[in-house]
Amino acid sequence: MNAFAHGRQVVLGTDGAVHLEAAPPAAVQARDDVLLAPVHLGICGSDVHVLRRAHPFIAPPVVTGHECVARVIATGPDVTSCAPGDLVVVNPLISCGHCERCREGVANQCPNAKVLGFGLPGLARDRVVVAGRFCHRVPEGVAARTAVLTEPLAVGWHAAGRAPGLDRVLIVGGGPVGLAVLLAVRARGAGHVTLVEPVASKRALAAAFGADQVLAPGKLPASRQVDTAFDCVAAPATLASAVAATVPGGTLVVVGVPSGDTSVPLARTQRWEIDIRGTGLYLDRDLDAVLAFLAGPSRPDDITRLITSEYDVERAADAFAATADPEQTKVLISWPDPA
């Protein structure tokens, strides 16, 4: 029998390597099941953290994958979110749907939630089943290669919604998340936006995506004061510079995943009433807002410049290896589209 009779899955192994392994069978069983064929999958910094055992909560072995656009192959009789043949983006935050936080509309705070590719097996499989309520149909005219950016962009959309004021904004970090925050604050009518990033090619992308001022680390003038700082790195040095640049009464939004508990300049934060806010993942409405943005006129024409390389699933290990290059922004793993 073929070792991959039920298809393949990409596993982040306990040996620190990326493996293609045989996947379990995937078929519609429950009435709300959707059988999907992934088309593109983005690799996220947090996936790489898991592989390197630098993630605060999750360790290998893990079937990876949470940034996914997929073709719908089959649906159970109760599914209303999509139909066979549709392209969908999956919300990988598998919330319980019935706890207090879920009922209040903040499923990202659900204490029972697990995320595909972290606490649950991920989407990097030839065929995968998810419940219909986690599928978001991709609008007409949005290509799969654009739609795969929905999940990382939704992180930025949610983060932007956590800030009370966007007149003057600082974004620390110009990777996919920092650039997503940039696009999101622009879409919300931000005033002046400064972005700090060490890699020149990412600074160029930030300028193309509408940042007013793009600087290398250490170049931020002491006079630059902002209402909201988004720290998309969340290391002690970036937190210090973000708090230093925030006006009295301003807000620091912690977007980056810290590699553990870390220090913040608490004295300035206390004396000058600077609010520190976390932002974790996103809500369904953030994913829908991003899909509408990608289908609309305000999307930059060159938004797929965020994608800097692409590998077939057979080369998933090479795709993960490629992420070590700081010039890379978003690396994709791709499958043939069965449509």
* 110 binds Zn ion per the rule CB under 5 A: yes
Residues numbered 211-270 forming contacts with Zn ion, rule: CB under 5 A: none
CB of residue 252 to Zn ion, shortest distance in Å: 21
Q: Are 81 and 88 in contact (CB under 8 A)?
A: yes
Q: Are the C-beta atoms of residues 252 and 242 closer than 8 Å to each other?
A: yes
Yes or no: say if 18 and 307 are a contact pair by the CB < 8 Å rule: no
Name which of 66 and 168 has its Cβ closer to Zn ion: 66
Residues 78, 33 contacting (CB under 8 angstroms): no
| Per-residue tokens: 73 | 């192959």
Task: Give the shortest CB-101-to-Zn ion separation in angstroms.
Answer: 5
Q: How far is CA 218 from the centre of its chain?
A: 27
Q: How far is the CB of 114 from Zn ion (least distance, A)?
A: 11
96 binds Zn ion (CB under 5 A): yes
Q: Which is nearer to Zn ion, 110 or 166 (CB)?
A: 110
The nearer residue to Zn ion, 95 or 194, going by C-beta atoms, is 95
Query: What amino acid is encoded at 257 in this protein?
Result: V
Number of residues that bind Zn ion (CB under 5 A): 8
Contact call for residues 14 and 21 (beta carbons, < 8 A):
no
**25: alpha, beta or left? (left if phi > 0; alpha if psi -120 to 50):** beta
Residue whose structure tokens are 């210090």: 240
Asked if 147 and 87 count as a contact pair (C-beta separation under 8 A), the reply is: yes
Q: Which of 10, 36, 44, 306: binder of Zn ion (CB under 5 A)?
A: 44
Q: Is 99 in the site for Zn ion (CB under 5 A)?
A: yes
From 76-84, 89-97, 210-218, 252-260, give the range in contact with Zn ion by CB under 5 A.
89-97
* Closest residue by Cα to residue 256 from 274, 276, 230: 230
Instruction: CB nearer to Zn ion: give 68 or 215.
Output: 68
Query: Least distance to Zn ion from the beta carbon of 277, Å?
Result: 20
Stretch that binds Zn ion, among 36-44, 262-270, 271-279, 301-309 (CB under 5 A): 36-44
> Which residue, 117 or 250, is less far from Zn ion as judged by CB?
117
51 touches Zn ion (CB under 5 A):
no
Strand partners, 168: 192
Contact 74, 84 (CB under 8 A): yes
As measured in angstroms, the least distance from the Cβ of 267 to Zn ion is 33
How far apart are the C-alpha atoms of 127 and 178, rounded to whole Å? Answer: 31
Taking each helix axis from N to C end, the angle separating 176-187 and 200-208, rounded to the nearest 10 degrees, works out to: 20
Instruction: Give the nearer residue to Zn ion in terms of CB position, either 144 or 245.
Output: 144
Please tell me whether residue 147 binds Zn ion under the rule CB under 5 A. Answer: no
Instruction: State the nearest-atom distance from the C-beta of 291 to Zn ion, in Å.
Output: 16
Question: In angstroms, what is the minimal distance from the CB of 281 to Zn ion?
Answer: 9
DSSP H/E element including 201: helix 200-208
Closest distance of CB 51 from Zn ion, Å: 14
Give the footprint of Zn ion on this chain (CB under 5 A). 44, 67, 95-96, 99, 102, 110, 112
